[in-house]
């Protein structure tokens, strides 16, 4: 159970990469602080055949 000041949203989005389109799942956590809602965490959840951890590694290593 989440506290009242946190909202968790999971969604499916389509990403575009150099290699083509990529379906992806994301979980966003919003937190209310001083009356304003801000995203505090974004977690890639993956898509068909692509585990979320693999996406996190790709995002972290991109541009290195």
Instruction: For residue 1, tell me if it sits in a domain.
Output: no
Would you state the pLDDT for residue 27?
Answer: 87
Q: pTM for the complete prediction?
A: 0.58
CA–CA distance from 51 to each of 32, 42, 54, 62 (Å)?
30, 15, 5, 17
Please tell me the distance from the alpha carbon of residue 39 to that of residue 61, in angstroms, as a whole number. Answer: 22
Residue 27 structural domain? 6-61
Domain count, the chain: 1
Q: pLDDT tens, position by position, for the chain (64 residues)?
A: 777 888 999 888 777 777 766 667 888 899 998 889 999 888 877 666 666 677 677 777 776 5
Would you state the pLDDT for residue 31?
Answer: 92
Instruction: For residue 15, tell me if it sits in a domain.
Output: yes
Please tell me the distance from the alpha carbon of residue 63 to that of residue 57, in angstroms, as a whole number. Answer: 12
Give the distance from CA 28 to its chain's centroid.
Answer: 6
Would you state the pLDDT for residue 30?
Answer: 92
Would you state the pLDDT for residue 4?
Answer: 81
């Amino acid at each position: 159970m989440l506290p009242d000041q946190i909202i968790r949203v999971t969604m499916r989005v389509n990403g575009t990469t150099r290699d083509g389109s990529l379906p992806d799942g994301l979980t966003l956590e919003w937190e209310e602080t001083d009356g304003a809602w801000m995203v505090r965490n974004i977690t890639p959840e993956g898509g068909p055949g692509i585990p979320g951890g693999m996406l996190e590694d790709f995002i972290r290593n991109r541009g290195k």
